[in-house]
A and B are shown apart, each in its own frame.
Chain A
Amino acid sequence: GESVGLHLPTLSVQEGDNSIINCAYSNSASDYFIWYKQESGKGPQFIIDIRSNMDKRQGQRVTVLLNKTVKHLSLQIAATQPGDSAVYFCAEKAAGNKLTFGGGTRVLVKP
């Protein structure tokens, strides 16, 4: 999938370091949030989700934080690996199960 763009923010991180990707969402009525990872030539792949009644959720090497007050979502990747290089999207769902995506952040892992 062509997920890169001239205006796509890029995060360069050293292998082994932690990565933090930020996302501002727009709809205060959104009650469900998802982080997706998209590698070149592929469709977005689910990483982790969080419901609006939670502030934090942890997965394997990933943590999502939700701050509803400022409508901010972040994804933390621990011990970033070369395989983590991809474009990361946050997505929000409001009523009706409509899933809306943010613009994406490219993560480049340097060896």
Chain B
Amino acid sequence: DAGVIQSPRHEVTEMGQEVTLRCKPISGHDYLFWYRQTMMRGLELLIYFNNNVPIDDSGMPEDRFSAKMPNASFSTLKIQPSEPRDSAVYFCASSLAKGLLNTEAFFGQGTRLTVV
């Protein structure tokens, strides 16, 4: 398996523009997580899905952020309109819950977003 795949790797956009980040989780994984990483706040969980259903979106900072998972192999994180303070590295991760046992989450390489 190629691991968690994110695109694009880098995105530079102007303030006010819509940004869409994409993620393909590891095949067979039933959990998908979106994280944001900044120098000041570290790794923050934005939202996570189980079997394509959003479970907890309490980390989504504002209504400008939205995430979808239309099927088991694809998820998007959208920011509209984007602002300079949204500049960060956005990570997608996936994991497999084996019954009651938790397992580790595997991370993609991240998307570095710069809003100017």
Contact = CB atoms under 8 A, between A and B. Distances in A.
Real complex partners, A and B? yes
B37 A103 contact: no
Contact of B91 (A34, A44, A103): A44
Contacts, number: 77
B48 A97 contact: yes
Interface of B: 4, 31, 33, 35, 37-40, 42-43, 45, 48, 50, 55-56, 88-89, 91, 93, 95, 97, 101-110, 112
Give the bracket for the number of chain A residues in contact with chain B.
Answer: 20 to 34
A42 B111 CA distance: 10
A103 B38 CA distance: 11
Given A97-B31, A98-B56, A5 B40 contact: yes
13 contacts: A2-B38, A4-B39, A5-B39, A34-B104, A43-B91, A43-B108, A44-B91, A49-B104, A97-B48, A98-B55, A99-B48, A101-B43, A104-B42
Contact of A89 (B43, B101, B108): B43
A45 B42 contact: no
